[in-house]
Amino acid sequence: MQNLFHPFVLPFVLGTIILFAICIWKFIRWFRHFDRLQRAILRKNIFSWKIIPALWEAFREGLLHIRISRQNLILGYMHRSIAFGWFLLIVVGFFEAHLTPLNSHPVWLAIFYRFFIHEHHLFASSEVFTFIMDLLLLYVLSGIFIAFCKKIYSKAVGMKKTTKHVLFDHFAKVSLWAIFPLRLLSESLAANVYQNGGFLTQSIGNFFSPWFAETFLTTSWTMYSIALGTFFVALPFSRYMHIFTEIILIYFRQMGVHEHLERTGYTMYELNACSRCGICIDNCPLNKDLNITNVQPVYFLRDLRYKRGTDAVADNCLLCGRCDAACPVNIDLLAIRQQERNKREQDHCDYSYLNNIQPFNAIGRVGFFGGCMSHLTPGITESMKAIFEEVEQKYWFLDEERTICCGRPLMQQGYLEQAAELRRKNSELIKKSKISVLITSCPICYQSFKNEYKLSIPIMHHTEYIMKLLETGKLKLRKDDLRTVYHDPCELGRGCGIYKEPRQILKKATHLVKAKHEKEESICCGINLGDTLIDIRQQTQIRDAAMNNLMYKNPDQICTACPMCKRAFNHATDFPVKDIAEIVRENMIKK
Amino acid sequence: MAVNFGYSISTTRVINFDNCDFNLLHQLEEIVPSYKRCLNCGACTATCSAQQFTKFNIRKIKSLFTSAQYDKLAKELDKCMLCGKCTLVCPRGINLRPAIMNMRKILSNK
Ligand code: SF4
Ligand code: SF4
Ligand code: SF4
Ligand code: SF4
């Protein structure tokens, strides 16, 4: 009978117990902070078929890290080899241990197998297992090697800036990095002594002198066990908490749970699911163009998690959503940023001056809402009027004379009650006017009407409306010879997912050329309402970067679908910048 | 229709700067440094969304704040919809929207 215990297993066993105890305690505590709606959603879906996509996504993202690979192949390989490789080591190790004919199989047997089991051929295909285990160890080690290179020279893995970690994360990382080389050493020493290694461990083991192997065998295994134990204890307090949290988060998300206006237990899952991979850093214009390096989600979430969040960080963000689109964990970064702003003291407002506005009876007409910003770029509103007239569509220009703001600018700064007040006023006017559809030329208003107003009529951005006119043949365009690049406004593209319509329209009216980064990766024009802390000089720096991005293929003109973006670019140069409505107006074939 | 630019003729008055407390102004200028650059052109008022509905003059509020005449300003500022139009038209690139938010905050802490 073999002895399957040695005191050196204790750090590992203890570490594992502490790890699971803390994790379960944390998970339960966060779960208890779910709000009523989130619980109701969970109760409804918990045993539904949605579990299948949840498991699939957990496998793809928790282990294979497909989304990171899409961003960056090397980085994806690094994450995958460590996560998936380690997972397989555990699973294959478990089977190896349990296939071995023994009276008992203590939990640590799979981990320290080669210390305790010395003979090959104890069961069929045991050599295959030895081979696979060595292969997997090599796989994980390759990931650790890349991580090490990334630490020394991040550009080698295609990252300009990597995350600056807190001390505790370094501690956890060092223990994680130590685990696998120590395992290699321990198994190699065991291979030297017991001749039980595979292609890797046996070859390395043969290098050592038998005296050295004998002497340091137990020490090495002890250190391996300590490294494991240390990592497990550090895990729940470090960024590595993301390993388990991400899986649970994916499950909740697939069940339909999402962020609300205030922080809930679900937010705690999101905060802890951030792996601090740092992908959001390179994607943030504040970092790239202004060298502001403490506000990106990786640091923002970390500060919140360790209860060190500040307004200076929460407010310094364009809400452009570029990080959000890139985040491989799909954390709802904008919603969390918004939650922090929503905590702002709600100073009172006084919009009583809006009480006496007379509603207009516009039955049978479509409504057009320019919004505050379209009034700064009259070319847009004029073009829309011309288009309506061309297709003989009766319309009511809601804010031709004066505009009640849609409320989104207030909302973005956390003044929820004030925003609701403005929404009430606008909704009242719209409902009483009995318009059949509401068209707006401002993506900010569009997003606001679509998501915040609970109107019963369809809401359309003017690109959607124009596309519909083209599809139904009411409007026809001729094609000009200009090379046009399209700028995706943040609120329209990443905000509302409208990428297709403007491009389809432009393909009919002109020659569409590509920008360097576009669609989900488009760059904010800089002149926006989300960030109240950067000044005009910094805003123009971001704008210039966005311009450069558009100039990639030397276009003849820039087209956008947002009055703010148009204004931003118009101020930069004499280069022609047009709204899509203006291009359509220029190119429509008059009846 | 008579066009309302949001201006009207102000009554003459004397402000004795020696008796003014510029503390709040200095607080604001610290948070929004661009505030100092105002040339009182009134472009902000002319474009203002709130001004189209009511007597609300953001330029005047600014100049009253600058000369430490804080009375009634807080109530006046409540009319602003924070739409940001004023910030976009300001020829001096003043971050007006944050200035308004901070004026509110400073005045309510007074
Ligand atoms: S927020 Fe997303 S992209 Fe940024 S570090 Fe965390 S996981 Fe990575
Ligand atoms: S929303 Fe934009 S500005 Fe804000 S952190 Fe993300 S990328 Fe940076
Ligand atoms: S537009 Fe700018 S410079 Fe002109 S009055 Fe207003 S804040 Fe001052
Ligand atoms: S932000 Fe306020 S002051 Fe400025 S234009 Fe809008 S309503 Fe007027």
- Kindly list the structural domains of chain A, giving each domain's residue range(s) and its CATH number in brackets, ordered by start: 7-243 (1.20.950), 262-341 (1.10.1060.10), 352-467 (3.40.50.1860), 477-587 (3.40.50)
Nearest-CA residue of chain B relative to A423? Answer: B81
Does B88 sit in the ligand 4 pocket, CB within 6 Å? no
Q: What is the pLDDT of residues A293-344, one digit of tens each?
A: 999 999 999 999 999 999 999 999 999 999 999 999 999 999 999 999 998 8
CB-based contact (8 Å) between A481 and chain B? no
Cα–Cα distance, A165 to A55 (Å, whole number): 31
Buried residues in A132-146 as b, exposed as e (16+ CB within 10 A): bbbebbbbbbbbbeb
Q: To test ligand 1's pocket by mutation, which of A72, A279, A282 has the most ligand atoms within 8 angstroms of CB?
A: A279
Does the pLDDT at position B40 exceed 60? Answer: yes
Q: How far is the CA of A333 from the centre of ligand 2 (A)?
A: 9
Q: For residue B86, report the distance from its CA to the centre of ligand 4, in Å.
A: 5
For residue A156, pLDDT over 80 is answered with: no
Chain B residue with CA closest to A537: the answer is B93
CA nearest ligand 3 atom 2, residue: B90
pLDDT value of residue B44: 95
User: B6 falls in which pLDDT band (50, 70, 90)?
Assistant: low
Average pLDDT over residues A34-49: 91
Structure confidence by residue, pLDDT tens digits, B59-80: 999 999 998 888 888 889 999 9
What is B21-109's CATH topology?
Answer: Fumarate Reductase Iron-sulfur Protein; Chain B, domain 2 (1.10.1060)
Q: Say if ligand 4 is within 6 A of residue B90 CB.
A: no
**Which residue's CA is minimally distant from atom 4 of ligand 2?**
A317
Q: How far apart are CA A316 and CA A332, in angstroms?
A: 17
CA A52 to chain centre: 22
The model's confidence at residue B13, banded by pLDDT at 50, 70 and 90, is: confident
Return the pLDDT at B71: 86
Mean pLDDT of chain B: 88
Average pLDDT (A440-459) is 95
Of A236-240, A480-484, A500-504, B67-71, minimum mean pLDDT range: B67-71
Residue A1 clears pLDDT 60, i.e. is over it: no
**pLDDT score for B1:** 56
Query: Looking at per-residue confidence, does B2 or B73 come out higher?
Result: B73
A403/B contact by beta carbon, under 8 A? yes
User: For position A326, what pLDDT does the model report?
Assistant: 93
The pLDDT score that the predictor gives to residue B2 is 62
Q: What pLDDT, on the 0 to 100 scale, is given for residue A26?
A: 97
How much is the pLDDT for A361?
A: 87
Burial class (CB in 10 A: 0-12, 13-18, 19+), A171: middle
The per-residue pLDDT for A465 is 96
Helix spans in A391-483 (H): 408-412, 416-433, 443-451, 462-471
Q: How far is the CA of A71 from the CAs of A49, A162, A278, A328, in angstroms?
A: 30, 14, 12, 8
Atom of ligand 1 nearest to the CA of A297: 1
Amino acid at A308: R
Confidence of residue A526 (pLDDT cuts 50, 70, 90): very high
Say yes or no: CB of residue B79 within 6 Å of ligand 4: no
- From chain B, pick out residues whose CB is under 8 angstroms from the CB of A567: 88
Least confident of A276-290, B5-19, B77-91: B5-19
Contact by Cβ (8 Å): A440, A369 = yes
What gap in Å lies between CA B49 and CA B41, rounded to an integer?
A: 17
Q: Give residue for tokens 């409505």.
A: A581
Q: Are A245 and A58 in contact (CB under 8 A)?
A: no
For tokens 């389809």, name the residue.
A504
Contact B52 A567 (CB under 8 A): no
Cross-chain residue pair A529–B104, CB shorter than 8 Å: no
Which among A72, A327, A330, A332 is the best mutation to test ligand 1's pocket, defined by most ligand atoms within 8 Å of the CB?
A327
Q: How confident is the model at residue B7 (pLDDT cuts 50, 70, 90)?
A: low
Residue B11 has pLDDT above 80, yes or no: no
Per-residue confidence (pLDDT) for residue B15, from 0 to 100? 83
| ipTM of model over 0.85 | yes
* Among protein residues, the one whose CA lies closest to atom 5 of ligand 4: B48
Q: Are A484 and A556 in contact (CB under 8 A)?
A: yes
Q: How far apart are CA A224 and CA A213, in angstroms?
A: 15
Ligand closest to Cα of B95 equals: 3
A337: region left, alpha or beta (phi > 0 left; psi from -120 to 50 alpha): alpha
Please provide the average confidence, as pLDDT, over all residues in chain A. 93
Using a 6 Å cutoff on CB, does residue A284 contact ligand 2? Answer: yes
Q: B88 vs A418: CB contact, 8 Å cut-off? A: no
